[in-house]
Amino acid sequence: MEGLPANVVPMPMSKTTIQCVMSDGSTFSISRKQVQILPNFALTDYASQGKTREHNVIDFAKCKNHQSYYTCLSRGKTAEGTVVLGSFDPKPVTKGIQGWLRQEFRALHALDEVTKWIFEGRTPISFSGLTRRDFLNHFYSSTDAPNIDQSWHTELRCRAGEDPIRDQEFIDKSTTDAMRETLNADSSRANHLGKSSKKRKIQHLGDTPLLQRLPPPTGIQWDRQNPSCAYDAVFTIICNSRAQDTNAWRAWETSMHPCSPILRNFVSGLNTEAGLELLRDTIRSQLRQHDATEFPDGELGTNMYALIDVLCTKLDFCTLTSRCSLCSSQLGSSVSPLHISDLMLPTINFDYDRAGNTSIADVFSLRTPNGNGANRLCQMCYSRGGRVSNFTPVASSPSRPAFIWIGIHEQPISVSRDFWIDGVPYELRGLVYEGDHHFVARFLS
């Protein structure tokens, strides 16, 4: 509109008419004109969280502590845009924190140090416990704790006459007494549940050393002096797979599944106190004595396929029959036996342009003695429409193999997480990548 500055919107008054009816039946009208705008409205301190305002209007009159002060100020974008209404008491900000809050911050810092000790493996064997109080008592009684607070904020350092252990025990005791009263009240209302068994379990678990309760490592530390990445990649997948499904592995360990003694010895060693690195080095030494060429020491690379070959069974577990996908005629003159070693070596002579994205079944067929690609010419319909691979179990095989390793050599392949052989489900658990004479494992949980 003419005469108005930029970004100024005129807001005229709106007229509202109300028809009033009196008790004697008479009526009259009331008209009111008002600009429909609310100049400002109030927000509580915590309701304003997450809101950034150019102009932040604050009233500290109802703020009780420094947290409320901080919350009100935090929604403002700049100091110039902050408007404080009236006077306020600066003591919630300047008088310092209370003793119980100071002790709580100390406990959080101490627990943070305990976490670092556990991660770095610096906790003594006698370091035990399950509750917060157990960890704090062990921390404050250790030799590294007396001067640890010198690196904390000055407000958190122990002052003259303060004992962090006694103060923490007082706080924990107050909390424990309140919890005990609640538990006793609950147990009196539900006598059929008896005493809380969970608390007894916590007390018993507190006697167990902490390091014995931590989960085992999920990987093997690489031997830099004697590169061990080939062993680490394979054994890491096996170790993690066993940890994912302990019941299935326990059944496999007690069954008669065809398996090499080396693999079974490694899995059995996981039940002992021996570390993963010790198991790896033991198996590595055995393999080196068996064949120093394939399993050398030093910086000479280990043949991954030779390693998997010794971990696999040499028994035929199924036969493979390939048929034309168009006329269902059998391709080839015989049925090919298939065992695990046939699946490992990568296929080099393969027509990638014709095949495109290969399936797992095609990879299986390419590992057989008579397999020469998914585009074999059918002698019945004279087409190259593809092949369908059928697997038939061998009667002499006691069961399907527990592990199948497939080698892929720089070819596009379509792989699903699930794969079936003769009604037995297999699940993809790990991938091993090779490059620059190094192996890296990826575990799929």
pLDDT the model gives residue 192:
46
Instruction: Evaluate if residue 2 carries a pLDDT over 70.
Output: yes
Tokens 């538990």 sit at which residue? 183
The C-alpha atoms of residue 242 and residue 136 are separated, in whole angstroms, by 35
Q: State which amino acid sits at residue 193.
A: L
Place of tokens 């490694």: 266
Amino acid (one-letter) located at 394: V
In 3D space, the residue among 145, 155, 148, 156 whose CA is nearest the CA of residue 106 turns out to be 156
Q: Both ends of the chain: CA-CA distance in Å?
A: 67
Residue 373 confidence (pLDDT) = 44
Q: Looking at the predicted structure, is the pLDDT value of residue 309 above 50? A: yes
Q: Taking residues 10-27, what's their average pLDDT?
A: 90
Residue 257: which pLDDT band, with cuts at 50, 70 and 90? low
CA dist 304 and 306 (Å) reads 5
Among 55-64, 296-305, 410-419, the range of highest mean pLDDT: 55-64
Q: Would you mind telling me the total number of residues written for the chain in this entry? A: 445
Interval 181-210 mean pLDDT: 49
Q: What is the mean pLDDT of residues 182-204?
A: 50
Q: Which residue has the higher pLDDT, 65 or 183?
A: 65
pLDDT band at 17 (very low <50, low <70, confident <90, very high): very high
Top pLDDT among 150 and 45 is at 150
Within 56-196, residue ranges assigned H as helices are 66-74, 91-94, 99-120, 132-141, 164-189
**Of the ranges 76-90, 287-301, 388-402, the best mean pLDDT one:** 76-90
Range name among 84-88, 176-180, 281-285 with the lowest pLDDT average: 176-180
Instruction: Check residue 371 and give its pLDDT.
Output: 43
Percentage of the chain beyond pLDDT 90 is: 4
pLDDT of 84 = 92
Contacts of 186 (CB under 8 A, 6+ apart): none
Q: How high is the mean pLDDT of the chain?
A: 69
Rounded distance, CA 376 to CA 133, Å?
72
pLDDT of amino acid 214: 44
The answer, yes or no, to whether residue 367 has pLDDT greater than 60, is no
Pick 186 or 249 by higher pLDDT: 249
pLDDT in tens, 36-47: 876 656 666 666
Which of 82-86, 317-321, 332-336 has the weakest average pLDDT?
332-336
* pLDDT band (50, 70, 90) for residue 60: confident
Q: Can you give the pLDDT at residue 225?
A: 73
- One-letter amino acid for residue 109 of the chain: H
Lowest mean pLDDT among 170-174, 273-277, 288-292, 429-433: 170-174
**Is the pLDDT confidence value at 188 over 80?**
no
